[in-house]
Every structure is written in C-alpha cells, then in structure tokens.
Amino acid sequence: MKEYFFLLSSITSAMKGEDILRKNGFRASVFRDSKINPYGCGYVIKVFGEKEKISRILQKAGIRVNEIRESR
C-alpha cells in the first residue's frame, strides 16, 4: 500500500477530507508543510491506499485537491 500526499488550499478542506477518508477506512492525517504544499495555507492530507479510490471519495465529497504527490 502506497502513501500519498493530497495537497489542499485550506485547513477546512483538509480536516473535512481527513474525516471522510477515516470514515471510509483509510489511515489519514493532516499536517501543514508549505515546502510540500505551496497552495494556500499549505495543508496536506497524508493517506495510505489507492490513489484513484481516495481521489474519487474526496471529489464526491466536494473537496478540491490541488495536487497529489506520492511519498518516496
């Protein structure tokens, strides 16, 4: 299982996304790092799982993701 960083532009979206992903069985956490995320406030959801499935869940919830990066 891979780890991904979902880059968002607000803490509100990040917290909502984290909650939705956890309710869907994903291991997710929010943190702030402007080096990883140059968009808006610099918040990131770190999550383990399938990128496409996670993206669909967030999109369905109306959460706009600026970029997705794979952890190294």
Q: 3-18: per-residue pLDDT in tens? A: 999 999 899 999 999 9
Of the two residues 58 and 36, the one the predictor is more confident about is: 58
Predicted confidence at residue 71, as pLDDT, reads 85
Instruction: Write down the residue that tokens 């880059």 correspond to.
Output: 7
Predicted confidence at residue 38, as pLDDT, reads 80
Domains annotated for the chain, with CATH where assigned, are 2-70 (3.30.70.3090)
User: What is d(CA 45, CA 9) in angstroms, rounded to the nearest whole number?
Assistant: 11
Q: Which of 41, 30, 38, 65 is nearest to 51 (CA)?
A: 65
Contact yes or no for 16/63 (Cβ under 8 A): yes
Predicted confidence at residue 56, as pLDDT, reads 97
| Stated pTM of the model | 0.90
- Which pair of structure tokens corresponds to residue 43? 């918040």
The CB density around residue 38, as the number of other CB atoms within 10 Å, is 12
